[in-house]
Structure 1
Amino acid sequence: MKFKDMPYKRVDYDKTAEQFKTLTKRVKEAKSGEELWEIHQEYYKVYQNMMDSMTIAEIRHDGNTADPFYAAEKDYYDETAPMLSSLATDYQRALYESPYRSFMEEKIGKVAFATMDNAIKSMDESIIGLMQEENALTTQYNKLIASAKIPFDGQVCNLSLLRPYLTGNDRTVRRQAWKAYSDYFMTVADELDDIYDKLVKNRTAQAKAMGYDNYIQLGYYRMNRNSYDRNDVENFRRQVKEVFVPFAERVHEIRRKRLGLEKLSYIDNEVYFKEGNPDPVGTAQEIL
């Protein structure tokens, strides 16, 4: 079945919420690991059906943010997803704390429980309102980026259609394209700054409400970093600075010479050959 033919039905919040609550109650009352496993199979179905619908709606909205139907669906999930996430976390917490957890670890693995631990540490009913606001702000940002209309080369380009001009072999055209690109962002700079400011304050407020000093630790949990921590990332950043940056500088110097330039500029980003970058060969269907 092609994606465009996949049926879509809005997630019924009341029905799904009741299913999560019932499953959570049954987990708490389970009398054996085998019973818990059977309940978890039902949870998989409820959760997957919910995620299937939400993912289809999100992809179709992102493909055309001007589509009024899926714009309304996105607004609906911006509002209901945090509430459903809270209920799903309640279920996971009950499973995590179950006396039959060791049985379930044999079934689904310890990593699954590490993931549940991250979910529990990053979700609380008290921050649902902030999460709804966060969703609305990220949707506002995505719409702003997707709605870009940039006059260039006799046509009106979005950011994706402008990209070939940003990486073409004619440096004069590249410079003009980068100026058009920058000019667009200058026209929406105030709006972008406002979204950014609100997001920082929102996420900081979420972290404080969860008992964290700032958003860093909460962000780690939400990115599901369950096998490395902040110290590991700090070490990785150090290695990037000490090892990769000097290597990248040598590669860029080779590229500068190949392009025949006295100095690389931002307009030369991702340009690798003087005659232009390699173009895809064949039609889109043939490439697919």
Structure 2
Amino acid sequence: MSQMVSEFVPADLDCSDFAQLEPLYQQLLDRPLASADDVKQWLQDYADFASVVSEYGSRRSIDMSCHTDDEAIEKRYMQFVEEIQPKIKPLGFAMVRKLLDCGFADQLTDSKYVQLVKEWQADAELYRDENIPLQTDVTKLTAEYGKLTGKQLVEFQGKQLTLQQLARFLEETDRAVREEAWKLSTNRRLEDRAAMDDIFDKLLGKRNEIAKNSGKANYRDYVWQSNCRFDYTPEDCLTFGDAIEKVCMPIVKELDEKRKAELGVDVLKPWDGAVDPQGRQPLRPFDADKPMDMVKGVREIFNRVSPALAELYDELKPGKNYDLESRPGKRPGGFQSSLEHCKEPFIFMNAAGTHRDVETMLHEAGHAFHYMDSRHEPLMFVRHAPIEFCEVASMSMELIGCDHFSAFYDTENARRAKAAQLEGILRFFPWMATIDGFQQWLYTHDDNLTEPRTKAWTEIFNRFSTDVADWSDIPEIRLARWQAQLHLFHYPFYYVEYGIAQLGALQVWQNFKEDADGALKNLRKAFALGGSVPLPELFETAGIRFDFSADTLGPLLEMVKTELDALG
């Protein structure tokens, strides 16, 4: 008899073999449910099984992200996408229906079960068998995008670099070097513009068909329900954009004018945005080929914030829990993935020796801490909070860590690094509003061909840009700038969450400055809840408000601006 992962799942289960998975689904579907306690045990057995399958899929996806140029890895990933996922999705839906139709769902009164039933009801309303092949096609198309971006290399100063590695040269004080690096990166992206448009056209078509099949007016409405956004509307997000335009854009214009004056240039160019405006050398917190130095420095930051966080951070190990350095064949970006069976986080990023890498490691470690604090929950389905709160976890770590950048720098450069981070927050909100506004347009307009899409992008981009910077050297890159935002391809409508969460994180930081121990205690208490309570309750537990109106935005941005001004 096989060793068991749990009382229900064999230890030697091979998730690449549907013939081994199907009988376990069938046993669960055939099991009689005669009481609420029966339902709870059934859910736990299903969660134990689903965690093994989930981890297998996550590992295939992580491998593909780390090695887009490895044919064997791609083959294993596509086998799961094409042969396993399409077969288990109908069985997963049958499991959802079994819970909803069992007659005891209303007797599951604990908050976590109430949340689960509510979310599964939303899923059940959207499910259609005919969407399964379309969803498979979407996954394959996003993998194609990842392969395309993973191949984007340039020759610069005698070396072949990824675009992430090239980005560090945008921080150089020599303006000619910055211009050359920016134009190299830009022109390399433009080489793939037509291919990117083709992929995106196909994604739009598939996603719109999925929404239509599910009875939704458009894909935006489909995503709203599939992401269980019960607590705010698309219109709320558009109002958020209006508030950003009113409150944030004047601040960003002031920052642009100040940068232009400090650089002493007649016209601000796109390659002038990352350089130190006072002509100081770029911040280089660690050597690009020594990412473990970054790991050690971030550990010191967490130790200064809270030794308990440092102990949690120490559980993360190379290879097992992270892949950090940028290299050819690795897709861009950064993420934290949860491995549900072993209950371990995995951090993926593209470190190239910049200060932004330090911020990214703090960010992804925040996601890891969130998962590690919630993994005590045995029921995988309620272990994860909504994205809007997950990003509070990550962004809070960036902010509460920003007073300890002396782990990497001397006093002056630590102040510079903090100032750069705060300025980045102010500049982030208009970009978030740009991406969210563009997505809202993309999925609510039928005339979504390249020309009207480009026109809409330009109008939205201009709305949330100042008139200080001049893009006339390569005007077409402004038109195609959206293609570099991988969320538009991989995770449609996953962007406004960053804005909502940033407001939450700023409140955490505000609380932390007044009572560090109390703020962290409340935050980690909310972490431990996972997804067992509604989103507003998670915010409340963390000691912050779930609100993204101008009434909340204005004072928080003023706080950031005051902190920034004090740094000089």
Q: Which residue matches 1:3?
A: none
For 1:126-145, what aligned pairs fall within 5 Å after superposition? 126-145=130-149
Letter in 2 for 1:59: I
Q: Could you report, residue by residue, the CA deviation over 1:251-287 in whole angstroms, capped at 9, with x for unpaired residues?
A: 3333333333333221123334432442215753233
Q: Following TM superposition, by how much is the alpha carbon of 1:50 offset from its aligned partner in structure 2, in angstroms? A: 0.7
* Whole-angstrom distance in 1 between the partners of 2:13 and 2:196: 32
Q: Following TM superposition, by how much is the alpha carbon of 1:143 offset from its aligned partner in structure 2, in angstroms? A: 0.4
Question: Is 1:166 equivalent to 2:170 in the alignment?
Answer: yes
- Displacement over 6 Å in runs of 4+: none
Q: Following TM superposition, by how much is the alpha carbon of 1:127 offset from its aligned partner in structure 2, in angstroms? A: 1.0
Letter in 1 for 2:79: Y
For 1:1-288, what aligned pairs fall within 5 Å after superposition? 10-26=15-31, 29-79=32-82, 80-106=84-110, 108-273=112-277, 274-281=279-286, 284-288=291-295
Q: Could you report, residue by residue, the CA deviation over 1:136-185 in whole angstroms, capped at 9, with x for unpaired residues?
A: 11111110001112111111112222111233332211111111112212
Q: Which residue matches 1:4?
A: none
Q: Helix, strand or coil: the match of 1:30?
A: coil
Q: Could you report, residue by residue, the CA deviation over 1:202-244 in whole angstroms, capped at 9, with x for unpaired residues?
A: 1111111111122111122333423222222222222122222
Q: Helix, strand or coil: the match of 1:125?
A: coil
Q: Could you report, residue by residue, the CA deviation over 1:87-126 in whole angstroms, capped at 9, with x for unpaired residues?
A: 2232123223432113334162433233323332443211
- Residues 261, 222 of structure 1: CA spacing in aligned structure 2 closer, same or farther, 3 A cutoff? farther
* Whole-angstrom distance in 2 between the partners of 1:9 and 1:153: 48
Q: Which has the higher helix share?
A: 1
- Residues 137, 13 of structure 1: CA spacing in aligned structure 2 closer, same or farther, 3 A cutoff? same
Are the equivalent residues in 1 in contact too, given 2:152–2:188 (CA < 8 A)? yes
Q: Could you report, residue by residue, the CA deviation over 1:25-47 in whole angstroms, capped at 9, with x for unpaired residues?
A: 43xx3110001111111111111
* Whole-angstrom distance in 2 between the partners of 1:92 and 1:244: 44
* Whole-angstrom distance in 2 between the partners of 1:272 and 1:86: 54
- Residues 48, 156 of structure 1: CA spacing in aligned structure 2 closer, same or farther, 3 A cutoff? same
* Whole-angstrom distance in 2 between the partners of 1:180 and 1:8: 48
* Whole-angstrom distance in 1 between the partners of 2:261 and 2:14: 56
* Whole-angstrom distance in 1 between the partners of 2:73 and 2:91: 24
Are the equivalent residues in 2 in contact too, given 1:149–1:156 (CA < 8 A)? yes
Normalised by the length of structure 2, the TM-score is: 0.46
Letter in 1 for 2:73: Y
Q: Which stretch has the larger CA shift, 80-89 or 29-38?
A: 80-89
Q: Helix, strand or coil: the match of 1:81?
A: helix
* Whole-angstrom distance in 2 between the partners of 1:138 and 1:241: 31
Normalised by the length of structure 1, the TM-score is: 0.87
* Whole-angstrom distance in 2 between the partners of 1:268 and 1:121: 49
Q: Following TM superposition, by how much is the alpha carbon of 1:65 offset from its aligned partner in structure 2, in angstroms? A: 0.8
* Whole-angstrom distance in 2 between the partners of 1:236 and 1:8: 47
Are the equivalent residues in 2 in contact too, given 1:208–1:214 (CA < 8 A)? yes
- Residues 57, 253 of structure 1: CA spacing in aligned structure 2 closer, same or farther, 3 A cutoff? same
- Residues 237, 47 of structure 1: CA spacing in aligned structure 2 closer, same or farther, 3 A cutoff? same
Unmatched tracts of structure 2, length 5 or more: 1-11, 296-568
- Residues 199, 96 of structure 1: CA spacing in aligned structure 2 closer, same or farther, 3 A cutoff? same
* Whole-angstrom distance in 2 between the partners of 1:281 and 1:248: 29
* Whole-angstrom distance in 2 between the partners of 1:55 and 1:189: 29
State the identity as a percent. Answer: 21
- Residues 122, 247 of structure 1: CA spacing in aligned structure 2 closer, same or farther, 3 A cutoff? farther
* Whole-angstrom distance in 2 between the partners of 1:107 and 1:34: 16
Are the equivalent residues in 1 in contact too, given 2:173–2:276 (CA < 8 A)? no
Are the equivalent residues in 2 in contact too, given 1:105–1:113 (CA < 8 A)? no
Unmatched tracts of structure 1, length 5 or more: 1-6
- Residues 276, 252 of structure 1: CA spacing in aligned structure 2 closer, same or farther, 3 A cutoff? farther
- Residues 10, 256 of structure 1: CA spacing in aligned structure 2 closer, same or farther, 3 A cutoff? farther
* Whole-angstrom distance in 2 between the partners of 1:239 and 1:8: 52
* Whole-angstrom distance in 2 between the partners of 1:271 and 1:226: 42
- Residues 10, 95 of structure 1: CA spacing in aligned structure 2 closer, same or farther, 3 A cutoff? closer
